[in-house]
Amino acid sequence: MPTIMTTKKSPSRAELLQGTLDMLILRTLLFGPAHGHQVAKHIQRTTDDVLQVEHGSLYPALHRMERKGWIAAKWEMAKDRNREFKYYRLTPAGKKQLVREESRWKQLATAVATVMRPAPGD
Amino acid sequence: MNVQNWLRRLRTRSWPRRNREEEFKREFEAHLELETQEQQGSGVTPQEAHYAARRAFGNITLVQEDVRGVWNAIWLERFTRDVKYAARSLRKSPGFAAVAVLTLALGIGANTAIFSAINALMLQPLPFSAADQLVRIYSIQNGMFNTFANPDGPSALDVRDFSQRSRSFQNMVAYDTWAKNVSFGESTGQPEQMAVGLVPAAYFEILDVRPIIGRFFSEDENQEGKNYVAAISAQLWRNRFDGDPSVLGRKIRINGEPYSIVAVMPDVIPTWVEPGRHSEIWTPFPYSPDLWSEGGRGERGYAVLARLKPGVSLEQAQADLSVIAAALAAEHPVDEGVGVAVKRLADSRVGALRPMLYLLMGAVSLILLIACVNLANLLLARNSTRQRELAVRAALGAGRGGLVRQLLAETLLLSLIGGAVGFACAEIGLRALARMRPENLPQLASVGIDCRVLTFTLLVSLVTSLLFGLAPAFMGTRLDLVDALKQGGRSGTPGRSSQRVRSLLVITEMAMCLMLLVGASLLVRSIMRLQGQNLGIRQDHLLRGRIYLPPVRYTNPGVRTRFCDDFATRVRALPGVMDATVTTVYPPINGWTQMFVIPGHPVTKIQDVPAAQFGVVDQHFLRTLGIPLIRGRDFAESDAATSPPVALISEEFKRRYFATEDPIGRKIHIGPPPLPQIAPEENITDDVDVTIIGVIGDFKNAGLALAPQPQITVLYSQHPLVNGGFKDILIRTAWEPHLVESEVRSQLHALDADMPLAEAQTIDELVERQTGGQRFTTDLLASFAVAGLALAIVGIYGVISFLVAQRNQELAVRMALGASHANVLWLVLKQGLRMAAIGAIIGLCAAFAAQKFTSGLLFGISPVDPLTFAAAPIFLLAVAAIACAIPGARVLRIDPAQALRQD
């Protein structure tokens, strides 16, 4: 399943590693309930548009996590608009999952960083 | 998982589907609206903002499907949709569907039929409890054990010693089957010659078969004099006694003596368990006192059945008995060089059919492969003409996986329909086989379709569709979208690779087809030789019947001679009868081997003792059979019981033993020389000096497959010691032989109302029956070869037609530029013939390599017979040429102007 991809417009946009989308969504929801659009926009904004969340990946990911019980959904009226949105929030299981994914991610990041350390000659 | 659970899960999973779909739509629309508003914020028109938002959201249907995939058992839904679609697309091309289904049906049907035979003969459990404990015990001579022929059984004494000294067996019995005259009393019809099983009480106990009514034999009843009790089969009980429960205690006459029925046995003992013919009556095995004297140790040939103790392996039992056999061989000179072999009862059921089954299995596998290759070819061609359809679907968002799945669903559907049709064909085929079932293959009676066969068919169908549908599906979906769409209505030139694959497939097909052709024609030619060979007699208008003169009534040789002479004289007097003889030898029936001594040629070693086929006959033997007298004189009426015994020898006999001398007038001694290795009872011993009076033509006296062996023929009236109860009458008729049969019967009835005329057959029928197993295999293999050929031809035809269609324009250009029709036709033919020729060469090599599998089934022909190896490829090429010429002829009808004007 395609996770996320960058559009061809900007070369500075990075391709997201497989599996990291789940972690990003969970992390976003740590700040409080949000609907899908907000989640996507939040990720985009906080990364200065480097990471673009495709809808094609977002919705299946949200629904998959809902099915796994990491997040729960509820239809609620938006405060600023006269419209109902499906708000997702983190469940205790989701919090645990986030911790797991974060530690894995840190491990990975450290590992990559070790490899990419400036060579002695540089 | 149980089905109910599964269904419930499925229901709870898909029940809220509608809601979820709605929900997703709502969620999605809300976000779309948000996105649109945001886009509008950047100052474009509402219309543009809407489109931008849409673009940002991508392929909504795909997302929707992915989301649905998260929640639903989507594979099921996809699967049903794929199958529905496949059914629709197959309905639209009924020609393709029909050819594919028929191809598969042929392949799967043939495999199902043969598998059901293998299932019945090798896989199905025996109808006995703890059947893996049941074994047979055979004698082996000097380490030789012939698994295909009937192996020798041990003697009763050996079995007694095995039983007493071994520790591996619960129980062990020696038993036998004899043809006997059976009459059921006045009210229950004609007397009949039947196979009567001579079995000790323990026989049924070892098999664990209990009587329906009545009791087992007792140990006591194995003694001579107390043995006049009989068990009958349930079938006989129904046929002769209407299933009357008061049958117990009723008397039947066996060989003129009354036996009371003490048990009715269920019909569970398969025919092949009993040696010779199927027994419907069993009597105790009266061990006569001399059976237990040491003189009887050489009397081998008993069938032996034993049940292993629980936990004892076959190897342990074999080791146990081998030690005992070695000890016996050291103790008794007669047992020198005689070993023992233990075989599972289940393994003895295949017996002589094993090589035939392997051959047929090989043949049907080839057919299935050819069918599959054809299917792959058909699918390749079909997929390549569907490039545009597939490209359109890909452009509309179908992933490659989806397309492959779709194409596979089609193949799967084809395979399943093909499997079902094949299954029906196999069922019909098996019924037909059961009807033409050769009598000497009783094992085939149990062949039928059961669960295992069904599973097999299903599995074969699934595997074929996966194996041979996958590659074409992948090749078909390797699309260059732009190219495929740009080509407009024109079918694309096939890529080089798919063309190569297709010709490779045809080559494989041709190779396999050639192997089938070679195998089948070798078998056909060998059966023709077997049946068409000269028996050494005048084979037509010759009727044979068997009689048995039981010793109770025919107490001495003189009485037997008188009865046989009376019977033959009465038969000769019948209208339509030209001559008749009572004899123990005639082709293709094997006589028995008799040792003899030529005075002045002493022998010291047992293997040097001269031996010949031996027959006791009457004076009409030569005349009735039409055997030529080469030298000397025939038997005459003056050669009576009291005059000096005389003998006729065959040319082969003269060649072997009187190569340089004139045998006429020479005396030989019938009977073995006095050597310590020869037990007195080992040979049916005659003990008479005879004078050779004539040399007769050779005739087939050692079965159909072997060359004539040396033959001695004497008069039974002059040889009381070998004037036994088993005699056959041969009748030379002027009419159709079976027309005189009933008159012969009534003559016999007039002489002895209890004596049946058994197995009345013409010699032609007898030969036919003896070659039945061969014939059966040959017919099957020949029909498989025809099927394989048909499939291969369809294959090459399809490929060439496809190529012609593809090259239509190229060929038109060539013709427009002045190529002659012949040139263009040759261009097409060449392609097909090249494939056929390469295939034929590979097939020849494979057939050459397979010779050791066929050689055992052939008669009078080499497994690499040059004529067959030359004719089969020529035939294949010729047929392939015709198959290519039909689409090739289409080329000739091309109107270049029109073909070039096309797009």
Cβ(B475)–Cβ(B496) below 8 Å: no
Amino acid B693: pLDDT = 93
If one compares B722 and B2, the residue with the highest pLDDT of the two is B722
| Burial class of residue B137 (count of CB atoms within 10 Å of its CB; 0-12, 13-18, 19+) | buried
Any alpha helices (H) in B144-201, and if so which ranges? 156-165
Please enumerate in sequence order all residues whose Cβ is within 8 A of that of A105, keeping only pairs 6 or more positions apart, or say none. Answer: A20, A23
Contact B66 A56 (CB under 8 A): yes
Dist CA B282 CA B460 (whole Å)? 44
**pLDDT tens figures, B706-740:** 788 899 999 988 988 888 888 999 999 998 999 99
- B313, part of any domain: yes
Whether residue B284 is found in the same domain as residue B163 = yes
Amino acid B145: pLDDT = 46
Element (H, E) at A84: strand A84-90
Whether residue B172 is found in the same domain as residue B302 = yes
Contact A37 B28 (CB under 8 A): no
- Distance of residue A66 Cα from the nearest chain B Cα, in angstroms: 10
> Which residues in chain B have their CB less than 8 angstroms from residue A86's CB?
23, 26-27, 30
Chain B contact residues (CB < 8 Å to A): 23-24, 26-28, 30-31, 33-35, 56-59, 62-63, 66-67, 69-71
φ, ψ for residue B840, nearest 5 deg = -65, -40
Dist CA B822 CA B811 (whole Å)? 12
Amino acid B296: pLDDT = 67
Model confidence at B150, pLDDT cuts 50, 70, 90, reads very low
Start-to-end CA distance of chain B, whole Å, equals 59
| Burial class of residue B196 (count of CB atoms within 10 Å of its CB; 0-12, 13-18, 19+) | buried
Average pLDDT, chain B: 82
Chain A, nearest residue to B69 by Cα: A60
Cβ(B648)–Cβ(B713) below 8 Å: yes
Chain B, nearest residue to A40 by Cα: B31
- Distance of residue B58 Cα from the nearest chain A Cα, in angstroms: 7
Domains of chain A: residue spans and CATH: 20-113 (1.10.10.10)
Model confidence at B395, pLDDT cuts 50, 70, 90, reads confident
Query: What average pLDDT does range B347-353 have in this prediction?
Result: 74
- Distance of residue A102 Cα from the nearest chain B Cα, in angstroms: 24
**pLDDT tens figures, B233-250:** 998 898 888 888 888 888
> Which residues in chain B have their CB less than 8 angstroms from residue A76's CB?
none
Dist CA B812 CA B161 (whole Å)? 89
Chain A contact residues (CB < 8 Å to B): 1, 35-37, 54-56, 59-60, 63-64, 67, 83-86
Query: What average pLDDT does range B795-824 have in this prediction?
Result: 81
Contact B31 A36 (CB under 8 A): yes
Query: What average pLDDT does range B181-198 have in this prediction?
Result: 79
Joined tokens for residue B599: 């005075």
CB-nearest partner of A54 from B33, B35, B58: B58
**pLDDT tens figures, B650-701:** 999 999 888 888 899 999 988 877 766 665 555 456 778 899 999 999 998 8
- B117, part of any domain: no
Contact B27 A83 (CB under 8 A): no
Q: What percent of chain B has pLDDT over 90?
A: 17
Contact A67 B71 (CB under 8 A): yes
Asked if omega into B46 is within 30° of 0 (cis), the reply is: no
> Which residues in chain A have their CB less than 8 angstroms from residue B27's CB?
35-36, 59, 85-86
Dist CA B313 CA B318 (whole Å)? 9
| Beta strands, E only, B743-795 | 758-762
Q: What angle do helix axes B94-118 and B74-92 make, rounded to 10 degrees?
A: 110
Q: What is the DSSP string of B54-119?
A: HHHH--HHHHHHHHHHHHS-HHHHHHHHHHHHHHHHHHH-HHHHHHHHHHHHHHHHHHHHHHHHHI
State which residues form the domain around B54: 3-72
Amino acid A120: pLDDT = 66
Inter-CA distances, B886 with B503, B804, B813, B825, Å: 18, 11, 21, 10
Model confidence at B560, pLDDT cuts 50, 70, 90, reads very high
Dist CA B624 CA B622 (whole Å)? 6
Chain B, nearest residue to A80 by Cα: B34
- B424, part of any domain: yes
Query: What average pLDDT does range A33-41 have in this prediction?
Result: 88
> Which residues in chain B have their CB less than 8 angstroms from residue A36's CB?
27, 31
Chain A, nearest residue to B20 by Cα: A63
SS3 B511: helix
Model confidence at B491, pLDDT cuts 50, 70, 90, reads very low
φ, ψ for residue A105, nearest 5 deg = -65, -40
- B489, part of any domain: yes
> Which residues in chain A have their CB less than 8 angstroms from residue B24's CB?
59, 63
Amino acid A61: pLDDT = 85
Amino acid B142: pLDDT = 61
**pLDDT tens figures, B844-863:** 999 888 887 777 778 778 88
Contact B59 A56 (CB under 8 A): yes
Contact B30 A86 (CB under 8 A): yes
Q: Testing the interface with B: which of A63, A83, A85 to mutate, by most B Cβ within 10 A?
A: A63
Q: What share of chain B is helix, strand, coil (3-state, %, to 5)?
A: 55, 15, 30
pLDDT surpasses 60 at B492: no
Dist CA B668 CA B710 (whole Å)? 14
Dist CA B784 CA B776 (whole Å)? 12
Model confidence at B406, pLDDT cuts 50, 70, 90, reads confident
Q: What percent of chain B has pLDDT over 70?
A: 87
**pLDDT tens figures, B577-604:** 999 999 998 888 776 778 888 888 878 7
Contact A55 B57 (CB under 8 A): yes
Dist CA B483 CA B464 (whole Å)? 32
Whether residue B29 is found in the same domain as residue B138 = no
pLDDT surpasses 70 at B294: no
Going by the DSSP 8-state scheme, the letter that residue B275 receives in this structure is S
Contact B30 A55 (CB under 8 A): no
Whether residue B431 is found in the same domain as residue B577 = no
Contact A37 B70 (CB under 8 A): no
Q: How many domains does chain B contain in total?
A: 4
- Distance of residue A97 Cα from the nearest chain B Cα, in angstroms: 19
Q: Is the four-CA dihedral B305, B308, B314, B316 of positive or negative sign?
A: negative
Whether residue B522 is found in the same domain as residue B410 = yes
Contact A63 B34 (CB under 8 A): no
Amino acid A51: pLDDT = 80
Joined tokens for residue B320: 């146990």
pLDDT surpasses 50 at A2: no
Residue type, B171: N
Contact B28 A59 (CB under 8 A): yes
Whether residue B260 is found in the same domain as residue B361 = no
Dist CA B371 CA B794 (whole Å)? 10
Model confidence at A7, pLDDT cuts 50, 70, 90, reads very low
Please enumerate in sequence order all residues whose Cβ is within 8 A of that of B856, keeping only pairs 6 or more positions apart, or say none. Answer: B148, B355
- B22, part of any domain: yes
CB atoms within 10 A of CB A76: 12
Whether residue B586 is found in the same domain as residue B724 = yes
Domain's final residue, options B25, B54, B72: B72
Q: How many CA atoms lie within 13 Å of B531's alpha carbon, on the beta-carbon side?
A: 18
pLDDT surpasses 90 at B307: yes
Dist CA B53 CA B42 (whole Å)? 12
Strands B667-670 and B592-597: antiparallel
Whether residue B519 is found in the same domain as residue B616 = no
Amino acid B146: pLDDT = 40
Amino acid B805: pLDDT = 76
Whether residue B494 is found in the same domain as residue B372 = yes
Amino acid A3: pLDDT = 38
Cβ pairs bridging A and B (under 8 Å): 49
Contact B70 A54 (CB under 8 A): no
Strands B758-762 and B667-670: unpaired
Query: What average pLDDT does range B460-483 have in this prediction?
Result: 76
- B544, part of any domain: no
If one compares B814 and B591, the residue with the highest pLDDT of the two is B814
Q: What is the DSSP string of B849-862?
A: HTHHHHGGG-SSS-
Residue type, B749: H
ipTM of the complex: 0.75
Contact A86 B71 (CB under 8 A): no
Amino acid B75: pLDDT = 61
Q: How far is CA B297 from the centre of its chain?
A: 37
- B407, part of any domain: yes
Whether residue B434 is found in the same domain as residue B390 = yes
Domain's final residue, options B72, B95, B112: B72
Segment of A76-80, B462-466, B754-758 carrying the highest mean pLDDT:
B754-758
pLDDT surpasses 80 at A56: no
> Which residues in chain A have their CB less than 8 angstroms from residue B19's CB?
none
If one compares B298 and B177, the residue with the highest pLDDT of the two is B177
pLDDT surpasses 80 at B58: no
- B741, part of any domain: yes
Domain's final residue, options B754, B787, B809: B754
Segment of B156-160, B589-593, B776-780 carrying the highest mean pLDDT:
B156-160
- Distance of residue A99 Cα from the nearest chain B Cα, in angstroms: 24
Contact B62 A56 (CB under 8 A): yes
- Distance of residue A112 Cα from the nearest chain B Cα, in angstroms: 32
Whether residue B734 is found in the same domain as residue B705 = yes
Query: What average pLDDT does range B881-896 have in this prediction?
Result: 80
Whether residue B318 is found in the same domain as residue B393 = no
Cβ(B168)–Cβ(B321) below 8 Å: yes
Element (H, E) at B23: helix B17-41
pLDDT surpasses 80 at B87: yes
Least confident of B443-447, B583-587, B816-820: B443-447
Q: Testing the interface with A: which of B37, B59, B60, B70 to mutate, by most A Cβ within 10 A?
A: B70
